[in-house]
Structures are given as C-alpha cells and as structure tokens.
Amino acid sequence: MVRALANGSKTLAAGEFKWFAQCTDAEATAWVAHLLRCAHAWPQAETDEAMLAQVEAAFAGVDKPEHFTDRSHCDECREHDDTLRARTRDTLRRSDLGNAGWDPITFSSADGIGYFFPALARFALLPDVWPDHSWYAGQLLSHLAWDGQDNRFLVWCSPLQRRAVHALLAHVAATRKEAVAQHACLDDLQAALAVWQAPTG
C-alpha cells in the first residue's frame, strides 16, 4: 500500500487496503484519504512510537501562540500565519507544510515551531508517499541545521527539549539511512546532529 501511494496510485492503495482489511470500496477509499490527511493515522514501529512519545513529552507544555509569523511583514507571512493558525498539532496536514520553497515553518517564530514540533516529528518519520510533496524529514533537517548554534529554535528550547530533538535526529540517522541517501539529506542531517548535540546537564 505504501509503495502504491508513493507511486501516486490512490486507487491501487485502496485496493490493497480493501483486500487486507476485507472492507468495502468506499471504506478503503476513505481510509486512504484519511492516511494522506492525518499523520496520526499511520501505524508506527514500536521504536518510532517511543521516539515520538519522548518528543511529545518534551513539548507538551508549549501553548499554541496567537500568531506564528510577523503577518504585517508581507502577503507571504500573512498567508503562512493564516495556515498555521488554522491548524493544531492534531490537524496539521502534510500539504500545510508545503515544500522547501514555500514552507510556513521557515517563517514561524521559535515558539510556533515548538508548538508544532511533535507533529513535525511525526511527519518526518512517515514514508515518502505524498506525490506533490517531498519526504518531510528533508525540510525538517534543513530547519534544524539552519544558522548553526544561532538557530532560533535551538536557542529557544530548554535542555529537555534539546535532548528530545537530538534524540529524534539520532533516530532518523539510525533508522532512515536509505531515505536520507535517496533524498540527499546526509549533509543536513550531520549538520543538525552537530548543532543539537545533547547537553550534558
């Protein structure tokens, strides 16, 4: 089913799901649509779930900010702010995160990134199945590597949160080697790992 979605065939994916779940065509089609909308719908490996639980715990206390960008700066900032304000951690979609050239997280405040980080982590661990969007981990790695030790999100994070981000990066390095190579993300991954080295305290 994942291979079918990655190849852009929702119909074949629905057929695979129908056979596996022994459900109707309508139920299978609805489930495929749900998978493509909701990061929480995807089953995760036990190690992934443990990693995501660590991230969730580290960022659980971050409230949703009233605004994510300086919306008065330009039309793009306003649009990105509107997109993020309309979502929660549970309703954020892959399509909301755009691509490297049009990504609202690029313009978000650090506390805005912190609010959405559990959802961003979940998207980063999902397979590359969105035909109109690349593997999200590549975008996230770029955000985490940007500006080195002056990275605004790094500066904002508590030591507990920094450890969770570093653990996520180490998990990606250990479990997504093929995807990292396929999407040419190794340099960003190594840079992000260096930036987010877990504090000793």
pLDDT at position 25 over 80: no
Q: Which of 4-13, 68-77, 94-103 is the least confident region? A: 4-13
Burial 91-130 (b: 16+ CB within 10 A, else e): ebbbebbbeeeebbbbbbbebbbbbbbbbbbbbbbbebbb
pLDDT above 90 coverage of the chain, percent: 51
3-state secondary structure of 143: helix
Q: Which of 116-120, 162-166, 177-181 is the least confident region? A: 177-181
pLDDT at position 40 over 60: no
pLDDT at position 55 over 90: yes
**Residue with more model confidence, 125 or 15:** 125
User: What global pTM score does this model have?
Assistant: 0.80
- Residues in contact with 19: Cβ distance below 8 Å, sequence separation at least 6, in sequence order: none
